[in-house]
Chains A and B, each alone.
Chain A
Amino acid sequence: MCGIIGVIDRNRQLMDGGKIRDSLAMMDERGSGEGAGYVAYGIYPDYKDYYALHVFFDNIRENKVPLDNLLEKWGTIVHDEQIKTYEQPNIRKVHTPWRYFFRPDRSLMPKSTTPDEDIVTHLVMKVNAEKNGALIFSSGKNLGVFKAAGWPEDVANFYRIEDYKGYLWLAHNRYPTNTSGWWGGAHPFNLLNWSVVHNGEITSYGTNRRYIESYGYKCTMYTDTEVVAYLVDLLVRKHGLSEKLAVRALAPPFWEEIDRMPPKEQELNRAIRLTYGPALMNGPFAICVANENALVGFTDRIKLRPLVSGESGDRLYISSEEAAIRRIDPDVENISMPKAGEPVIGRVYS
């Protein structure tokens, strides 16, 4: 059991993190105080052309220089600084959060059609797999993940989340069940511009992990959710699927449902299931995925976790509970429950 909330302003109007914190804190019962986190899009307008790398250092003195050297080898560190944090009685600061604004050197990946993304992905995978006291937990442009082991309100206050203004937010309150809670295991999980929050468990994790690792991704966070971020990156960024078809691949209709579809639709759904069989996610889940243009929410095919959506003007909200949405926006309209396995999508206007 975890609590999730996502909101997108389709007109890119900025919202500060204060209400997101209040909303997530309202679902404290869905967590256990062992992990909470936030991601906001649009928070670094002055550095929007650079990759914002958020890093947890175990020890600044020992671990920072090797990472600096690695980044300088692959590009330029435009700016870097410690992420401001504010002491909280219930949070033990076992890591030092740091941010880099990084410009990859494209000439170093001449054969790639997307050299910037591939360099950053390579760096994230390499650093996180080596576990040398540095963990890159956020690597997109003009966005940032803020997370730690703690309760939603404590983690928010630790980063003063209300000081950040974004047009798209995801937040998560964790109740770890299969692995222990730690800073890196808190959600959101992020790679490039993809961020994921997740309530539930992915029982097909082993299959999904083998599949995604065969494409060069490395699972290093001791928890199932990170495969979702990598699967979405693979399906949407690399294979060019729409968000809707990507969700179809991750939570496809049952075969007997496909058998009843009109011929053309049948063909498409068969092709997706056969091509992406190892990407199919089993088990109970409700997930929100975001990139810089869209927010997508969906559940497993037999709806074993809750998900509610609501709208208010340009804003689309997706959450585990209607009340959490109403905490942000008491006048929210069109409250509805997305059908199992079918995505609800909010996209920016331009």
Chain B
Amino acid sequence: MTTVRIDAHRLHYTPLNQKIRAAIADGATEIIIDNVLGQRFIGDGVRGDGVTITVNGVPGGDLGMFMSGPTIIVNGNADHAPGNTMDKGKVIIYGSAGDAVAHSMRGGRVYVRDNIGYRGGIHMKQYMEKRPILVVGGSARAFLGEYMAGGLLIVLGLTGITPISERGVGSGIHGGEILVRGPVDGLHLGVGAKQTPATEEQKVMIKPIIEDFAKQFGLDPAPLLASDYTRISPASARPFANKYTWE
């Protein structure tokens, strides 16, 4: 295993990403970036299974955008849209993240230990074997899963806050599913979303994901697996059919 350390103090994201890409091209499997503060686009479009990029600090927006393969670990909070249109790999955030987490994500996993902002999982999609997953340890703000077209969102409510306490969850959802630990107030559902208690089969489906999340953050998975979940899914495949078209 080859480790490369990069000091990002006052380094713009362009040279920073050049260094990351050069390190991967040279065969590095572990890249540790120190003193990250506000640099956007870290690890965007990088490829390479088995590469781990550790970000020490608070990165800027669009972390791991278009990324295909590597794992990014953030020791700090992330800004807007980590995992934006990510294709494959993992983004693991030891902290909270901003708005539009996992925006348009198409594959891989994003794990956020604490809370996320507004519009988490907006327009997430899936195709064939590509099924993106976002797991949030704490809570999510309004418009979670807005216009969601595929994939899976899980919100666990571990930070002592109600996992969902704001409006518009699944507004315009037409694919994929959202699983929330505990009950969800029907008032918070968006247009086009419906909720049902998660079945045993559905809980079995998320079991390995929860176990992996718990292992990642050193949590006991047992109470998470023993909990009841609410499943939010599309009420129809075309929630706005009557709004835009006439048939």
Contact = CB atoms under 8 A, between A and B. Distances in A.
Given A321-B79, A339-B166, A302 B142 contact: yes
A30 to B, nearest CB: 10
Contacts, number: 55
Interface in A214-273: 257, 260
B38 A26 contact: yes
B123 interface: no
Interface in A325-350: 326-327, 335, 337, 339-340
Contact of A323 (B79, B96, B167): B79
B98 A303 contact: no
B66 to A, nearest CB: 17
A260 B167 CA distance: 13
Interface string A316-327: 000001111011
B166 A322 contact: no
A184 interface: no
Interface string B115-133: 0011100000000000000
Interface in B159-193: 166-168, 187
Contact of A337 (B38, B61, B117): B117
A97 interface: no
A302 B79 CA distance: 18
Given A26-B38, A326-B58, A340 B79 contact: no
Contacts of B79: 306, 321-323
B147 interface: no
B37 A327 contact: yes
A254 to B, nearest CB: 8
A27 interface: yes
A323 B37 contact: yes
Contact of B38 (A260, A303, A327, A335): A327
B60 A335 contact: no
B141 A337 contact: yes
Contacts of B40: 29
B99 interface: yes
Interface of A: 26-27, 29, 257, 260, 302-303, 306, 308, 321-324, 326-327, 335, 337, 339-340
20 contacts: A26-B37, A302-B118, A302-B143, A303-B99, A303-B118, A303-B119, A303-B141, A306-B79, A306-B80, A306-B98, A306-B99, A321-B61, A322-B77, A322-B98, A323-B37, A323-B58, A327-B37, A327-B38, A339-B141, A340-B118
